[in-house]
Amino acid sequence: MEPLSLPLEQGVNFRDLGGYQTKDGQRIKKNKVIRSGSLGNLSPNDLAFLDDYGLRYDVDFRSSTEQKDAPDRLPNGVNYYFTPVFPEDETKSSAKDRRKKIFMSDPEAGFKNMIRAYKDIVLQASAKKAYREFFDVLLANDKDKEAVLFHCSAGKDRTGMGAVYLLSVLGVDEKTIRNDYLASNKFLAPWTERELSKRKLPLEHQEVFLSNLKALGSVRESYLNTALTVMQREYGSLEGYLKHELYLTKQQVKDLKQIYLEKL
C-alpha cells in the first residue's frame, strides 16, 4: 500500500503508519502513530487537524540546537518528549556548514557523511537512549483514539530509523518497511527543491556542492543497509539490537502489538 499522507498546510513528510499489514495477517491501526518532519511551522489549521486526529504524544528526535531554532508547535494537551538521537544534527545543516569546503571538492562527501551518521544511529549511546524512550512513549499510548507522533527535522533519517524499528517489532515485512523508508524522497521532493532554490550556491564547484546537498537531503537504500549491517555485525540482527541494546522484552513486544495492531 502507499503511505498515508496527512494533509497539513505547513507540515512536511507527515504520514500515518496505519494500514500497513503484518506478516501474520493483521494491520496497524490508523490514528495511532504518525511520523513526520518539523512541527516548527505548523499553521493554526494544522494544529486543529492534529488535535482532531487525536495527537497526545510528541517525540522529538532533534538536537537541542534544532529544537531551539524551531520549537515544536503543538495543540494544547499534548505530552512533549525531547529525546535527541544525536547531541547535534549529523545528517543535515550543521555538518554541511562545518564541511563546506570539503563539499565543494569531494563529490562523495555528502554520501560519506550520511554513512557515518547511520553508523552512529546504531552505535551512539544517545541514539540508543532516544529510541528506548521512544518505545516507552509508544507503550504508554494505550488508549483508543489517541496518537503518538515522532519526528526530526525532515522526518527521513532519525525518524526513518524509528519507523524501521517500530514496523519491525510489529511484524511488517521487509519490503514494506523499505518502501516506507524510501517514501521520504517522494514526500520531501517539493520541499527540497524550494530549499535548494533559496541557497546561494558557490560559483565554483557548483555541481559537486549540489550533489552533496542532495545526498544529505535524501534517503537511500545504502544508508539503511549501513545501519542494518552494523546491527548484524555487532548484535547478530536487528531483532538482537532491539532486545539487547534497546531492552525490548517479549512482553513489551506483545503489548505493542496489542496497542497498535488490529485484525483485518
- Residue 67: C-alpha distances to residues 7, 46, 73, 189, 214 (Å): 24, 19, 11, 23, 23
Ranges of residues in the chain whose predicted pLDDT is under 70: 89-99, 195-205
| Domain segments of the chain as ranges | 4-263
Q: Which distant-in-sequence residues (6+ apart) come within 8 Å of 135 by Cβ?
A: 165, 166, 246, 248, 252, 256
pLDDT of residue 101: 73
Local structure of 126: helix, strand or coil:
helix
Backbone angle region of 56, left / alpha / beta, with phi > 0 → left and psi within -120 to 50 → alpha: alpha
Superfamily of domain 4-263: Protein tyrosine phosphatase superfamily (3.90.190.10)
155 touches 13 (CB < 8 A): yes
CB neighbours of residue 46 within 10 Å: 20
Q: What confidence tens digit (pLDDT) does each residue in 150-202 have? A: 999 999 999 999 999 999 999 999 999 999 999 999 999 887 777 666 666 66
Query: In 3D, which of 230, 184, 203 has the Cα closest to residue 92?
Result: 184
C-alpha span between 157 and 177 (Å, rounded): 14
pLDDT of residue 103: 75
Local structure of 147: helix, strand or coil:
strand
pLDDT of residue 207: 79
C-alpha span between 60 and 76 (Å, rounded): 17
pLDDT of residue 13: 96
Stated pTM of the model: 0.92
Which cell numbers in the block locate residue 36? 513526520
As beta bridge partners, residue 21 has 27
pLDDT of residue 90: 54
* Crossing angle for the helix pair 109-123 and 206-216, to the nearest 10 degrees: 20
C-alpha span between 199 and 195 (Å, rounded): 7
- What burial class does residue 35 get, using C-beta atoms within 10 Å of its C-beta: 0-12 exposed, 13-18 middle, 19+ buried? buried
* Crossing angle for the helix pair 109-123 and 125-140, to the nearest 10 degrees: 60
pLDDT of residue 85: 97
pLDDT of residue 97: 56
